[in-house]
Amino acid sequence: MVFDLTEGDPVSQPSGTQHGHGHGHGHGHSEAPADPRRWRLLVLLCLAQFMVILDVTVVNVALPVIESDLDLDRAAVPWVVTAYTLTFGGLLMLGGRLADLVGKRRIFLTGLVIFTLASVGSGLAISGTMLVVARGLQGVGAAMLSPAALSIITTTFAGADRNRALGVWAAIGGAGAAIGVLLGGVLSAGPGWEWAFFINVPVGVAVFLALPASKVDGRAHDGSRPDIAGAVLITAAGGLIIYALINAGGAGWGAVSTLVPLGVGILAAALFVVVERKVAAPLVPLVLLRRRPVIAGNLVMVAAAGLLIASFFLASLYAQHVLRMGPLETGLLFLPVAIVITIGAHLGARMITASGWRPVAGIGFAVAAVGFFLLSRVPADGSAWVHLLPGFAIAGAGLATTFVTATTSAMTAVEHSMAGVVSGLVNTGHEIGAALGVAFVAAIAGAGVEGAVEASAQVQGFGSAFLAAGIAALVAAGLSVVLLPAGKPDPSHGPMMAH
């Protein structure tokens, strides 16, 4: 069975909603007749996206078991998470551009193959190095398939059907995150942590075989080349800064092995700006970097994602290292938090409409800070349901509202020709923020990340890390009130959700 995936001009942008991971490009094609089988295509694309989202959270619950089985040291543990989010975020904009230049279906299938094979490599890993490399390759594949899948959706569907399709795509993000924390516990407690990665293989193979052929795989014909130098520089900058943060947890903040990669990482970030000023088709058009709502929204996204993913990272290690909970029990513990986050996001959207961006972001980060300060008092022999869950849920609820603030602020009053670029930029901020957040708290926690040290040392490390997260949330609250635009979203602009 072959679906009609005839695509229009891939350079044009949508006149509708942008939603989901990636570099969204709307390419309405009113001439093509609506094929009822296109909904089956949507299912396949959403299955692939589900894997991508799942792999952000599924590892957090399985991490202590992985650490024990592969004998990972303190520095290697956070890389299991950050290697994926770093390459995913750093290459996401490039993946979207390649989908335009090379063809959406080609880039989607290439990314799917890389992601699936890297999942096999992750499950077969016999060392920390092998697992981290495989996780990085998973991120490369995700950065290709995710924006390409979104672009296929926005070119295949039009009008009200497009909005419904994008709504399904958006729901996959929340469902993947919630199911990931539970599935990580179920698989780690059952067949083994390896199946947190192996489970991607049958899905990847099925999507690859079932994905319909495209009659015309649209490409850009503007003569421009992908900004590979920019993608490499921003990914390298993030990687070096993350390495410096993780290294500081062991060697100290003043060590040469910390300061050198930190300095080089900052230099790489500066070179990225220089490159973006000179290339014909930059990953990030400089005109966007002069828009306050875009910059403020992305900074809020970096902070929100960093704090949220870092909280899952710390909570999982504390529950399993200190409280000696099993992975399944930990996954069940995290499920209420995932539900609270979903509810908080919906409430946040309503609050922004009523009150505007500044108060919602300020209150959201302040609430998160309260949750983190409660978590900073975790004991060595407490109850997860009494000493961990309440603070975790409060922090998650507060941060959920800031995610909505970040997205709607960045996307407000953006021309439709720029909607896909800004959407991709916000999602890049989400992944890079997640990587930096985990590296930051791992550096503060220090020996607490290792499961082989005494409980007292672990608790002290976790308490310090949660306290640092609370302070960071308060700083984010103050900055967001100053940097975010005043006023409320204009309802006439429609919903534009990037993540």
Secondary-structure breakdown of the chain: helix, strand, coil percentages, each rounded to the nearest 5: 75, 0, 25
User: How much is the pLDDT for 223?
Assistant: 58
The span from the CA of 275 to the CA of 269, in Å, is 10
Q: C-alpha distances in angstroms, 422 versus 13, 240, 242?
A: 11, 25, 24
Can you give the pTM of this predicted structure?
A: 0.82
From first to last of the 499 residues of the chain, give the pLDDT tens digit: 333 333 333 333 333 334 344 444 444 444 445 666 778 888 888 899 889 988 888 898 899 899 989 998 878 889 999 999 999 988 888 888 888 788 888 999 999 999 999 999 999 999 999 999 999 999 999 999 988 888 788 777 777 777 677 767 766 766 677 788 888 889 988 899 999 999 999 999 999 998 876 544 555 555 567 888 888 998 899 899 988 888 887 778 888 989 999 999 999 999 988 888 888 888 877 787 788 888 999 999 999 999 999 999 999 999 998 899 999 999 899 889 988 988 888 888 889 888 889 999 999 999 999 999 999 999 988 899 999 999 999 999 999 999 888 888 887 767 766 766 777 888 888 889 999 999 999 888 876 666 556 667 788 889 999 999 999 999 999 999 999 988 777 655 544 444 4
The span from the CA of 94 to the CA of 99, in Å, is 9
Nearest of 191, 392, 437, 424 to residue 294 by alpha carbon: 424
6 CB-contact burial (10 Å; exposed 0-12 / middle 13-18 / buried 19+): middle
User: How much is the pLDDT for 19?
Assistant: 39
Instruction: Specify the DSSP element, H or E, that contains 185.
Output: helix 159-189
Residue 71: half-sphere exposure toward Cβ, Cα within 13 Å? 2
| Structure letter (DSSP) for residue 190 | T
494 dihedral zone (left: phi>0; alpha: psi -120 to 50; beta):
left
User: How much is the pLDDT for 451?
Assistant: 54
Polymer length of the chain:
499
